[in-house]
Amino acid sequence: MKRTASAVWNGTLKEGKGLISSQSGVLADTPYSFGTRFAEERGTNPEELIAAAHAGCFSMALSGQLGAAGMTAERIDTKATVMMDKTDDGFTITAVHLDVAVKVPGASADAVRAAANKAKEGCPVSRVLNATITMEARVE
């Protein structure tokens, strides 16, 4: 499987602007800039996209882990928070925190948390990130 995305950047780092597009077309010339990355301008940024990818990947991985254990989630709600810090080597994504709420009728909280821990370790996005990944899993 291969997936692609592209970015076009014009101008200097602080005054320039860019556009991000994805193979599926969901992102089509979506704006990004220094202001969308380090301030609150409207548009996206790489860290937000990584957070979205991680939340989506983890939720699907958790669904798979639950299914393998004979459970079906009614709802998996995941928020991923990406932390970027300035290090000696420059800005680096140092950590991601997954905050997940899971509703699995009839399942024990321990079984759901065990599946969540396996999903956190096994999700392909988790495995590609060179960052500390923490998680809070709430069973509803």
Q: Please report which helix (H) or strand (E) contains residue 127, including its range.
A: helix 124-128
Same domain, 80 and 122: yes
Asked whether residue 127 falls in the same domain as residue 91, the answer is yes
Write the pLDDT tens digit of every residue in 82-96: 999 998 989 999 999
Same domain for 66 and 15? no
Contact 122, 111 (CB under 8 A): no
Shared domain check, 124 and 74: yes
Give the other-Cβ count within 10 Å of 39's Cβ.
8
| Number of domains forming the structure of the chain | 2
CA dihedral 66, 54, 44, 38 (to 10 degrees): 130
User: Does residue 21 sit in the same domain as residue 90?
Assistant: no
Q: Which residue range(s) make up the domain with 130?
A: 46-139
User: What is the per-residue pLDDT across 89-115, written as a single tens digit (0 to 9) for each?
Assistant: 899 999 999 999 999 999 999 999 999
> Global pTM?
0.93
